[in-house]
Amino acid sequence: MQHGVQIGDVLPESRHKVTQDQIDRYAEASGDRNPLHIDPEFAKETMFGRTIAHGLLSLAFLSQAMTAWDWKGWAFGGGLDIAFLGPVYPGDEVAVRGKVTALEIGENGVIAVCEVACTVEDRTVIAGTVRRRLETA
């Protein structure tokens, strides 16, 4: 196998401090302007009591870590199976971790399976699995 990815490989940990300004820019760029993320008055009345970051922003940190690691273009020909487990507030620092847990060799090529997690201090905010095609049969 030419891809150089092995079971047990660990994604270098990365950290991202989230600000309201970044959330606002993400909302504009993505078009996802849910007031829960950008309107403090609206957010005050929700169960969160204040604005929270888009779950997909934390997922983007994960994507960025994959790109910086070795998986250029990982999002194409791959998949995600993740759960959003808790909110990220402005001011929180999101840590991204991942580990290759399996290589699946099938008719269509080689798929790497990577267990991933985003945490804020000791709270897990995203957890799940990323699958990425490494080689086409």
Stretch that binds a copy of itself, among 3-11, 52-60, 100-108, 116-124 (CB under 8 A): 52-60
DSSP letters for 17-53? E--HHHHHHHHHHH----HHHH-HHHHHTSTTSS---
**CA neighbor of 52 nearest in space, from 107, 101, 120:** 120
Binding status of residue 97 toward a copy of itself by CB under 8 A = no
Binding status of residue 117 toward a copy of itself by CB under 8 A = no
Tokens of 135: 């080689």
Binding status of residue 20 toward a copy of itself by CB under 8 A = no
H-type alpha helices, the chain: 20-30, 35-38, 40-44, 55-69
- Report the Cα–Cα distance between both ends of the chain, in Å, rounded: 11
Binding status of residue 9 toward a copy of itself by CB under 8 A = no
Binding status of residue 109 toward a copy of itself by CB under 8 A = no
Residue of the chain from 5, 11, 16, 110 that contacts a copy of itself (CB under 8 A):
16
CA angle 5, 79, 86 (to 5 degrees): 105
**Beta bridge partner(s), residue 25:** none
In the complex, minimum distance from the CB of residue 6 to a copy of itself, in angstroms, rounded to a whole number: 23
Residue of the chain from 77, 89, 99, 117 that contacts a copy of itself (CB under 8 A):
77
Q: Rule CB under 8 A: which residues touch a copy of itself?
A: 16, 22, 25-26, 28-34, 36, 46, 52, 54-57, 59-61, 63-64, 67, 72-73, 75-87, 128
